[in-house]
Amino acid sequence: MCGIVGCVLKDDDAAPVLLDSISKLEYRGYDSIGIATATGNTINLKKGAGKIAEVDAELDLADLPGNCGIAHVRWATHGDPSEINSHPHLDENNAIAVVHNGIIENYLAIKEELEKEGHEFKSDTDTEVIPHLLEKFVDEGCDLELALRKTIDIIHGAYAIAAISIKEPNKVVATRKDSPLIVGVGEKEYFVASDFPAILKYTNNIIYLEEGEIVTLTGDGITIKDSEDNILDKEVDVIDWSPEMAQKEGYDHFMIKEIHEQDIAIKNTLAEREIVKKIVDEIKDDINRVAFVACGTSYHASLTGKYLIETLAGIPTEVLLASEFKYSQKSLNDKTLVIFITQSGETADTLKALDVANETSKTLAIVNVAGSSATRKAQYVIQTQAGPEIGVAATKTYVSQLASIYLFAALLADNKELLEKLDKVPDYINEVLENEDKIKDISRKYRFARDFFYIGRGYSYPIALEGALKLKEITYIHGEGYAAGELKHGPIALIDDGIPVVAILPPGDDHKKTMSNLEEVQARGADVLGIGSYGDEDLITKAQDTFLINSEVDDIIAPLVYIVPLQILSYYVAVARDLDPDKPKNLAKCVTVE
Ligand code: M6R
């Protein structure tokens, strides 16, 4: 949901570094791009609507003078994606430039006031009030830092803001509230950025900025002040992600690279067993109910968690959509453990729910991004070890979330058999990846389909939901996941000649029942792709196409393995339709607005 970068370099021009850094955040928004630098009497600005490569080919974005500047990639909230609405935005005198991620809720009232005072606005954005407010306070005699402090006293909403001014040309000031912003401390370069990948090439030294703190970058270093204007001596964390982790390394897209990293992501996540055990030991005698809260793919991981915790540990468990949480949280109490699943740790809906749950219950966040807001708000944290995920569609972070949930549930239930099974999952995934071409071939057949259905029972039902979501997200083909037994209660009316139905059929007690559902849709003309196990002759004989998986993967651990061919299917259908799976239209990696 928009990415921002700001930097001051000791020796070099900032624009090439800003272009390189903001390109690493394109997964956060790809409607438009802009860069501004400050020199002497000028704000040097280039911006335009479109993906970075397109706008760069036209404008040569790196060709701007000055060793300090700001950059932005946009995911439009207010105003269509156009040059005029793209960031950076300027004040009236073209003396101050601002980039912003988030939403200013009271911008209309502020705009009205400023217009009465004679300010003229050019764009439809909420952001444009910020440079005008800064201008007003600078005109009253404030320096840029104080002007920013006064501005954040007025604006309401979620924001990460970075600003530059021609009056203080070697300086970037920045702040945040409910939107991520990290500070990078290099040897000859200082940064603010929405996320790590932007700065990994230059530094691994990070400072996490808390809400209301203001950071000032200059050629001499970094100063951070709290809301009372006290200078803070903040800890510098060293993050162990490498720049290569955020590069394609020979793959055509991040998505397929990240699908291939799922074995190692699970292995690394399962290696956190001691940390998970400590949390389980601390809370297990003190809870009688569990509630998962999440959005999107993380919600699907949570559904698997419900089956696991209820079946293995016998603890009543519910799953709530974070955006619906406030309408149904009333029965939480201090015996409830509320588990928040979020790869980014910055999803606004999830964070709002986390704040509420903290008031009554124990809270645990399962998060991929270290230092993100969820890790700082939750009482307990499990960090998944997927490494940076750049593709907008969650793949390796999803299986890592599942790995953490399985570990948690197995330890809670003291289920040694499940713990042993989990250790073999990376090998099973590798076997699936070795047969990638089989799915690639099948994907050609389906690339012009208009609708897809995915069916599964029990542990395979969330797989069906997640398979359908991946398809929708990156191929723009309509896909629905259904509990296999539910299909005949209505949706079967939609089944027609040639409609693809993906049936998820791991070995287990319910295999026969799902086979009957498969036959029901076939009888109405469906074209069935069965995802099952080697030796499943019934499936092999009946389905039009099959993809087979190691028969040791039973229905309980199926969610960790059976999702992989479905991710690959969506990927290759998207490629066959000439779409960019890394940057699906209308989506952003991290949704920081409610
Ligand atoms: O960062 P989070 O896990 O909180 O994100 C939640 C959803 O926005 C996310 O899973 C979304 O559904 C992705 N586009 C899935 O591919």
Query: In angstroms, rounded to a whole number, what is the distance separating the alpha carbons of residues 528 and 449?
Result: 13
Does position 200 have pLDDT exceeding 80, yes or no? Answer: yes
565 — pLDDT class (breaks 50, 70, 90): very high
Q: What is the pLDDT of residue 28?
A: 84
The one-letter amino acid at 242: S
Q: Is the distance from CB of 178 to CB of 159 less than 8 angstroms?
A: yes
Q: What percent of the chain has pLDDT over 90?
A: 86
To test the pocket of ligand 1, the residue of 321, 341, 347 to mutate (highest count of ligand atoms within 8 Å of its CB) is 347
Atom number in ligand 1 closest to CA 401: 3
Residue 203: name the closest of 17, 359, 30, 59 by CA: 17
Helices within 48-195 (DSSP H only): 52-59, 107-116, 129-139, 144-154
Q: What is the pLDDT of residue 500?
A: 96
- Structure token pair of residue 567: 């991710």
Residue 151: name the closest of 212, 85, 209 by CA: 212
Task: Tell me, rounded to whole angstroms, the distance of Cα 214 from its chain centroid.
Answer: 25
To test the pocket of ligand 1, the residue of 344, 377, 404 to mutate (highest count of ligand atoms within 8 Å of its CB) is 344
Who contacts 234 (Cβ-Cβ below 8 Å, separation ≥6)?
207, 208, 224
> What number is the average pLDDT over the span 123-129?
93
Residue 305: name the closest of 272, 274, 336, 339 by CA: 339
Query: In angstroms, rounded to a whole number, what is the distance separating the alpha carbons of residues 296 and 307?
Result: 18
Rounded to the nearest angstrom, the distance between the alpha carbon of 418 and the centre of ligand 1 is 27
Rounded to the nearest angstrom, the distance between the alpha carbon of 592 and the centre of ligand 1 is 11
- 363 touches ligand 1 (CB under 6 Å): no
- 323 touches ligand 1 (CB under 6 Å): no
241 — pLDDT class (breaks 50, 70, 90): confident
Query: In angstroms, rounded to a whole number, what is the distance separating the alpha carbons of residues 340 and 292?
Result: 6
- Residue closest by Cα to atom 14 of ligand 1: 393
> What number is the average pLDDT over the span 434-455?
94
To test the pocket of ligand 1, the residue of 258, 343, 566 to mutate (highest count of ligand atoms within 8 Å of its CB) is 343
Instruction: Give 311's DSSP letter.
Output: I
- Structure token pair of residue 93: 């005198």
Does position 77 have pLDDT exceeding 80, yes or no? Answer: no
- Residue closest by Cα to atom 5 of ligand 1: 342
Choice among 46, 396, 589, 590 that is catalytic? 589
- Structure token pair of residue 447: 């690339």
Number of H helices, E strands in the chain: 19, 24
Helices within 361-459 (DSSP H only): 373-377, 396-412, 416-423, 425-434, 436-446
Q: What percent of the chain has pLDDT over 70?
A: 100
Q: Is the distance from CB of 454 to CB of 481 less than 8 angstroms?
A: yes
* Entry pTM: 0.87
- Residue closest by Cα to atom 1 of ligand 1: 344
- 567 touches ligand 1 (CB under 6 Å): no
- For 446, how many CA atoms within 13 A lie in the half-sphere containing its CB? 32
Choice among 2, 7, 68, 295 that is catalytic? 2
E strand or H helix at 190, and its extent? Answer: strand 189-193
Who contacts 464 (Cβ-Cβ below 8 Å, separation ≥6)?
454, 455, 456, 481, 482, 483, 484, 502, 504
Q: What is the pLDDT of residue 7?
A: 97
In angstroms, what CA-CA distances link 84 with 33, 79, 89, 175, 450?
11, 9, 9, 24, 36
SS3 category, 216: strand
- Residue closest by Cα to atom 3 of ligand 1: 342
Q: For residue range 316-361, list pLDDT tens digits in order.
A: 999 999 999 988 777 889 999 999 999 999 999 999 999 999 999 9
365 — pLDDT class (breaks 50, 70, 90): very high
Rounded to the nearest angstrom, the distance between the alpha carbon of 10 and the centre of ligand 1 is 38
> What number is the average pLDDT over the span 510-535?
95
Could you identify the residue written with the tokens 């986390």?
A: 354
Atom number in ligand 1 closest to CA 397: 3
Q: Is the distance from CB of 23 to CB of 52 less than 8 angstroms?
A: yes
Task: Please provide the average confidence, as pLDDT, over all residues in the chain.
Answer: 94
Query: In angstroms, rounded to a whole number, what is the distance separating the alpha carbons of residues 412 and 167?
Result: 59
Does position 23 have pLDDT exceeding 90, yes or no? Answer: yes
Has 589 been annotated as catalytic?
yes
Could you identify the residue written with the tokens 């087979």?
A: 548
Q: Is the distance from CB of 505 to CB of 530 less than 8 angstroms?
A: yes
Q: What is the pLDDT of residue 178?
A: 85
Query: In angstroms, rounded to a whole number, what is the distance separating the alpha carbons of residues 148 and 98?
Result: 11
> What number is the average pLDDT over the span 13-35?
92
Report how far apart the first and last C-alpha atoms of the chain are (Å, whole number).
11
- Structure token pair of residue 118: 């004679």
Query: In angstroms, rounded to a whole number, what is the distance separating the alpha carbons of residues 328 and 344?
Result: 24
Rounded to the nearest angstrom, the distance between the alpha carbon of 398 and the centre of ligand 1 is 9
Q: For residue range 44-68, list pLDDT tens digits in order.
A: 999 999 989 999 999 999 999 999 9
- 297 touches ligand 1 (CB under 6 Å): yes
